[in-house]
C-alpha cells in the first residue's frame, strides 16, 4: 500500500528522470541534427545537464526516504511485490550514484561529447591516432568511475562498469558462456562455408534510393507495432534508439543505395528497442525502476528478436517482399521469396558488426569484450588497439582487416565511455533465442501469422511477459520465470542450425 514517504520518493525519482530526459534529448540532437560548429558548446551543455541530473539523483532526501520505506513492512513484507522490487532497485541505483562525485559525472559527459565528435571525424578519415587521445581520456575517466563504484567481491574492475548495463553481471561468468559458444559458432561457420553451397546475394545488390528505403522502413516498423505518434525515425552515423520520455521514443538508422537490407535490419533492430520502450509502463512509473528496462541484455533480446527471428525468417519475406517490390522496385521484382530469404541469411566473414549475419555476429562482440577488459586492466595500451584488433579479428573470422575505419574505429561506444556494454549484445541473442522457443510454444500458429504481416500476438506476448514488468525481475530471474530454465547457448545454436543448414543445402 502506498505511503506518504513512498509517494514523495517516487516524486523525487520522477523529477530526476525529467532532467535526465532533457539530457537524452540533447544527446539525440547531437547525433542527428546538430550543426558541426555547435560541438564545443554542446559539450558544455551536456556537462551542465549531467551535473544537474546527478545532483537530483543523489539528493540526500532520497536516501532518507529509502530508509523509511525499507523499514515499512506494508511496503516490503512481500519481497516479490512491485513496491518492494521498486525499492530494491532504487536502493541499488542510489547507492551507486552517490559514490560518484558530480565533477566526475560532468567531466564524463563533457569529454564523451567531445570524443564523439572526434570519433566521427577519425572514422571518416580512417585516422585512429587522431582519436587515440580522446579514447585515452575516456578510459581514464571510466577507470575513475569503476574505482568509485568499487570492485565487487570476487570480481574484477570491469564488473563495476558492467553492472551499469547488466545488473549483477560478472565478466568471468560471461566468459564461461562466450568461450564454448565461440567454439561452437566457429565450427558451425566452418562447416557451412567449407561444405555447403552459399546462396546468391544478387537481391542485395539492387540499387535503391534512400528515400524509398526510408518509406519501406517506416511501413515495416508500423506493421510491427511501433507507434509513430509516440516516436520517429531519423538518420545518424551509428544507429541507436533513445527512449527519451513517455510518448517520445526516437529511432535512427543509416542508408546506402546498395544492400538495402543493412538499413532495413538496422531499422528493425532499433524498432525492437523502440517497441520495448513504448511498452514499458512509463506513464505510471516514469523515473522508477518499474518503468525502466531490466537490463541491456534483455533490451537487446527485443531488438535482435525483431531483426533476426522475425526479419530474417522466410515468413517475413512472404509478407514483406510484395510490399518491398511495390515501394522500392529497382529490380526487386525479378526475385522470389526464397531468393530474399536465402540472401539475407548468407554467412560471411565480414568486417562490420552492425552488418554481420547471425552466425558471425557474436564473434564480433567477443572480440570487443576481450579488448575492453584488457584496456581497463591496463594489459593493453590504447596505441596498440589497431594491431591487437586486427590480429584477433583474423584469428576469429579468418580475414584481414583492411583499415581502421572497418576495424577498431567502426563503433561509437568507446567514445561515450560505454565500457561493459558490448557483451550485452550477445546476451541479448541468447535471451532472444530462449524466449523465441517459448513464444512459439505459446503461439503455435505464429509463423502463419507472420507470413500475413500479423505481428500483434507476438507483440502482445512480449508486452505481457517482459515489457510491462519493468525492472520487477532481474534478467536471470525473468528468463527463469518465462522459460523455466537458466540462460543457455543451446536455443541460439538450435535456431542457427535449423535455419542455416538448409539454406546451405546441408
- 463 and 278 Cβ atoms separated by less than 8 Å: no
Please provide the size of the chain in residues. Answer: 506
From 23, 166, 270, 315, the catalytic residue: 270
Neighbours of 200 (CB within 10 A): 12
Phi-psi region of 400 (alpha: psi -120 to 50; beta: other; left: phi over 0): beta
- 351 and 407 Cβ atoms separated by less than 8 Å: yes
Residues 441-464: b if buried by 16+ CB within 10 A, e if exposed: eebeebeebbbebebeebbebbbe
* Closest among 215, 214, 212, 245 to 231, alpha carbons compared: 245
Q: Identify whether 258 is a catalytic site residue.
A: no
Kindly write down the DSSP assignment for every residue of 94-130, as one continuous string. Answer: HHHHTTS-HHHHHHHHHHHHHHHHHHHHHHHHT-HHH
Q: What dihedral do alpha carbons 295, 301, 303, 304 form, nearest 10°? A: 140
3-state secondary structure of 241: strand
Query: What cell was used for 187?
Result: 565450427
Provide the sign of the torsion angle of the four alpha carbons 368, 373, 379, 382, taken in this order.
Answer: positive
Which residues, 6 or more positions from 479, have their beta carbon under 8 angstroms from its beta carbon? 431, 434, 435, 485, 486, 487
Tell me the C-alpha distance between 173 and 442, whole Å. 30
Query: What cell was used for 504?
Result: 546451405
Crossing angle (nearest 10°) for helices 358-376 and 171-195: 140
List, by residue number, the catalytic residues: 270
Amino acid at each position: 500500500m502506498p505511503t506518504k514517504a513512498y509517494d514523495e520518493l517516487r516524486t523525487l525519482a520522477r523529477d530526476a528522470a525529467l532532467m535526465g530526459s532533457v539530457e537524452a534529448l540533447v544527446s539525440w540532437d547531437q547525433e542527428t541534427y546538430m550543426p558541426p560548429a555547435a560541438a564545443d558548446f554542446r559539450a558544455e551543455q551536456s556537462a551542465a545537464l549531467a551535473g544537474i541530473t546527478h545532483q537530483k539523483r543523489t539528493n540526500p532526501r532520497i536516501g532518507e526516504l529509502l530508509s523509511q520505506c525499507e523499514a515499512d513492512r506494508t511496503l516490503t513484507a512481500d519481497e516479490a511485490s512491485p513496491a518492494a522490487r521498486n525499492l530494491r532497485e532504487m536502493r541499488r541505483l542510489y547507492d551507486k550514484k552517490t559514490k560518484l562525485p558530480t565533477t566526475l559525472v560532468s567531466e564524463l559527459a563533457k569529454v564523451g561529447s567531445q570524443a564523439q565528435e572526434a570519433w566521427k571525424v577519425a572514422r571518416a578519415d580512417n585516422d585512429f591516432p587522431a582519436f587515440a587521445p580522446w579514447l585515452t581520456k575516456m578510459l581514464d575517466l571510466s577507470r575513475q568511475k569503476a574505482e568509485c563504484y568499487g570492485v565487487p567481491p570476487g570480481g574484477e574492475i570491469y564488473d563495476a562498469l558492467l553492472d551499469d548495463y547488466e545488473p549483477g553481471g560478472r565478466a568471468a561468468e560471461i566468459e564461461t558462456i562466450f568461450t564454448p559458444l565461440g567454439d561452437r559458432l566457429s565450427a558451425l561457420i566452418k562447416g557451412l562455408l567449407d561444405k555447403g553451397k552459399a546462396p546468391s546475394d544478387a537481391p542485395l545488390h539492387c540499387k535503391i534510393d534512400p528515400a524509398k528505403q526510408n518509406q519501406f522502413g517506416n511501413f515495416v516498423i508500423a506493421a510491427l507495432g511501433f507507434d509513430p505518434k509516440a516516436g520517429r525515425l531519423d538518420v545518424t552515423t551509428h544507429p541507436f534508439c533513445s527512449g527519451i520520455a513517455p510518448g517520445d521514443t526516437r529511432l535512427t538508422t543509416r542508408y546506402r543505395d546498395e544492400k538495402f537490407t543493412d538499413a532495413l535490419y538496422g531499422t528493425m533492430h532499433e524498432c525492437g528497442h523502440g517497441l520495448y520502450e513504448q511498452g514499458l509502463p512509463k506513464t505510471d512509473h516514469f523515473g522508477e525502476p518499474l518503468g525502466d528496462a531490466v537490463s541491456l541484455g534483455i533490451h537487446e533480446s527485443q531488438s535482435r528478436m525483431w531483426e533476426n527471428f522475425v526479419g530474417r525468417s522466410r515468413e517475413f519475406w512472404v509478407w514483406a517482399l510484395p510490399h518491398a517490390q511495390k515501394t522500392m522496385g529497382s529490380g526487386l521484382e525479378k526475385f522470389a521469396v526464397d531468393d530474399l530469404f536465402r540472401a539475407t541469411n548468407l554467412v560471411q566473414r565480414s568486417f562490420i558488426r552492425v552488418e554481420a549475419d547471425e552466425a558471425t555476429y557474436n564473434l564480433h562482440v567477443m572480440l570487443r569484450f576481450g579488448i575492453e577488459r584488457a584496456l581497463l586492466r591496463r594489459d593493453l595500451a590504447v596505441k596498440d588497439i589497431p594491431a591487437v584488433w586486427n590480429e584477433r579479428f583474423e584469428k576469429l573470422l579468418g580475414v584481414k582487416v583492411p583499415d581502421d575505419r572497418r576495424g577498431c574505429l567502426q563503433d561509437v561506444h568507446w567514445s561515450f565511455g560505454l565500457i561493459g556494454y558490448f557483451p550485452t549484445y550477445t546476451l541479448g541473442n541468447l535471451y532472444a533465442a530462449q524466449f523465441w522457443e517459448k513464444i512459439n510454444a505459446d503461439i503455435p500458429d505464429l509463423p502463419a501469422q507472420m507470413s500475413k504481416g500479423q505481428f500483434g500476438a507476438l507483440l502482445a506476448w512480449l508486452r505481457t511477459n517482459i515489457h510491462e514488468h519493468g525492472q520487477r525481475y532481474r534478467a536471470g530471474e525473468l528468463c527463469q520465470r518465462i522459460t523455466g530454465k537458466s540462460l543457455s547457448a543451446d536455443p541460439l545454436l538450435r535456431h542457427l542450425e535449423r535455419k542455416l543448414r538448409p539454406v546451405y543445402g546441408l
